Amino acid sequence: MTSLADKTVVLTGGAGGLGRCVTAVLAAHDARVVVTDVIEPVDELPPGAEFHRLDVTSPQEWGVLARTLQDRHGPVHGLVNNAGILRSRGQSGRLQHVSLEDWNALLAVNATGPMLGIQALAPLMTEGGSIVNIGSVAGAGAHLAAGYGVSKWALRGLSRIASMELGSAGIRVNSIMPGYIETPMQTRTPEHFIDAWVSIVPMGRVGTPDDVAPLVSFLLSDESAWLSGADIPVDGGTLAHVGLKVISDAMGAEDGGA
Ligand code: NAD
C-alpha cells in the first residue's frame, strides 16, 4: 500500500480538474498536500491539505512559497508540476495561426513554470524526494495545438535534465504523458475532435483524472525508488501504435495485411 505519511508535497494548478483528483489521492495516502494555483479551489480541501496562491510563472512567488514551507514544514518531499494552459480555440492553436502572445504564455506556464518550481524547491528536498511533471501525449509527437505541443516537449526535456542533475542528491524526476482526459481544460473541445480522438485510443474511450492520479501518487512514493528520468504515457494505448490503429481497424482483426 502506497504511503506518503508525513511527506509534504507541493502541487501546482491544484484547483483544476486533474489537480483536485491528485490532491484527493495524495491526501488519502496521508501526504501533507500544499495545493497551489492562481485561483481558489472550488471544493473544500481534504484534511491535511492547505492552499497557497501561486502563479508558476513568477520567480518571486516561488521564492515566497519556498521560504514559507521552510519555516512551517521543513523539508519538501515532492513537487507535482501540474499547472497548465491550452489556449487553443478553433484554428488559433495551429502553427500558422498561433499568436506570439499565446505562444509565449504557453511556454511560460507549461515549461518555464516547472523550471522555476524545480529551482525554488529542489534545495528544500532531501534524499528520497520526487518531482513529477505533468506532460502530455502532445509532447511525444506532432500535435494540433502547436504552442501547447512545443511546451510539453520542452517539459519532457526539462524532466530528463533535472533527473540527471538531481539524481546525485537522491531526488527522482519523472514525467507522465496523459492522453485526453475530461477536465475543465477540455470544456470547449468540439465533439468531432473527441470522437476522432477516441478512434485512435485502443481502449476506446477518453481518460478521467482518476485514470491518472494514482500514477502520480506511485511516482511520489518510495515504491518507485529506482524510477527516474522516465516519460510514462497514461493514454489507453494511444502512443503505442504510432498511427497504425487506423490501418488495423481498416484491415479487420483477421487480415494481417502485407
Ligand atoms: P485545468 O484547466 O482543469 O487545470 C489547470 C489548472 O492550472 C487550473 O486550475 C489553472 O488555474 C491552473 N493554472 C493556469 N495557469 C496557472 C499559473 N500561471 N500558475 C498557477 N496555476 C495556473 O486542466 P487539467 O486538465 O487539470 O490540466 C492539468 C495538467 O494536465 C496540465 O498540465 C495539462 O496540460 C495536463 N494535461 C491535460 C490533459 C487533458 O486532456 N485535460 C491531457 C494531457 C495533459
Query: How far does the centroid of ligand 1 lie from the alpha carbon of residue 78, in Å?
Result: 18
What torsion, rounded to 10 degrees, do the Cα atoms 144, 145, 150, 151 define? -140
Residue-wise pLDDT for 85-111, tens only, equals 999 877 889 999 999 999 999 999 999
> For the chain, what is the HEC assignment?
CCCCCCCEEEECCCCCHHHHHHHHHHHHCCCEEEEEECCCCCCCCCCCEEEEECCCCCHHHHHHHHHHHHHHCCCEEEEEECCCCCCCCHHHHCCCCCCHHHHHHHHHHHHHHHHHHHHHHHHHEEEEEEEEEECCHHHCCCCCCHHHHHHHHHHHHHHHHHHHHHHHHCCEEEEEEECCECCHHHCCCCHHHHHHHHHCCCCCCCECHHHHHHHHHHHHCHHHCCCCCCEEEECCCCHHHCCCHHHHHHHCCCCCCC
Residue 119 has pLDDT above 60, yes or no: yes
Residue in 11, 20, 37 to alter for ligand 1 test, most ligand atoms within 8 A of Cβ:
37
Query: How far does the centroid of ligand 1 lie from the alpha carbon of residue 16, in Å?
Result: 6
Query: How far does the centroid of ligand 1 lie from the alpha carbon of residue 85, in Å?
Result: 5
Residue 234 has pLDDT above 60, yes or no: yes
Which ligand 1 atom is nearest residue 185's CA? Answer: 2
Rounded distance between C-alpha atoms, residue 115 and residue 109, angstroms: 10
Residues near ligand 1 (Cβ within 6 A): 12-13, 15-19, 37-39, 54-57, 82-85, 109, 134, 136, 178, 180-181, 183-186
According to the model, what pLDDT value does residue 253 have?
Answer: 67
Query: How far does the centroid of ligand 1 lie from the alpha carbon of residue 168, in Å?
Result: 30
Residue 255 has pLDDT above 80, yes or no: no
Query: Is the entire prediction scored with pTM above 0.85?
Result: yes
pLDDT-above-90 percentage for the chain: 90
Which ligand 1 atom is nearest residue 209's CA? Answer: 26
Query: How far does the centroid of ligand 1 lie from the alpha carbon of residue 82, in Å?
Result: 6
* CA nearest to 13, candidates 81, 77, 65, 61: 81
Protein residue closest via CA to atom 36 of ligand 1: 136
Vertex 87: Cα angle to 100 and 54 (nearest 5): 95
Residue in 18, 144, 186 to alter for ligand 1 test, most ligand atoms within 8 A of Cβ:
18
Q: Which residues are catalytic?
A: 148
pLDDT-above-70 percentage for the chain: 97
According to the model, what pLDDT value does residue 130 have?
Answer: 98
Residue-wise pLDDT for 172-219, tens only, equals 999 999 999 999 999 999 999 999 999 999 999 999 999 999 999 999
According to the model, what pLDDT value does residue 88 have?
Answer: 86
CB 14 within 8 A of CB 36: yes
According to the model, what pLDDT value does residue 92 have?
Answer: 85
Protein residue closest via CA to atom 32 of ligand 1: 84
Residue-wise pLDDT for 43-82, tens only, equals 999 999 999 999 999 999 999 999 999 999 899 999 999 9
* Least reliable range by pLDDT among 14-18, 180-184, 251-255: 251-255
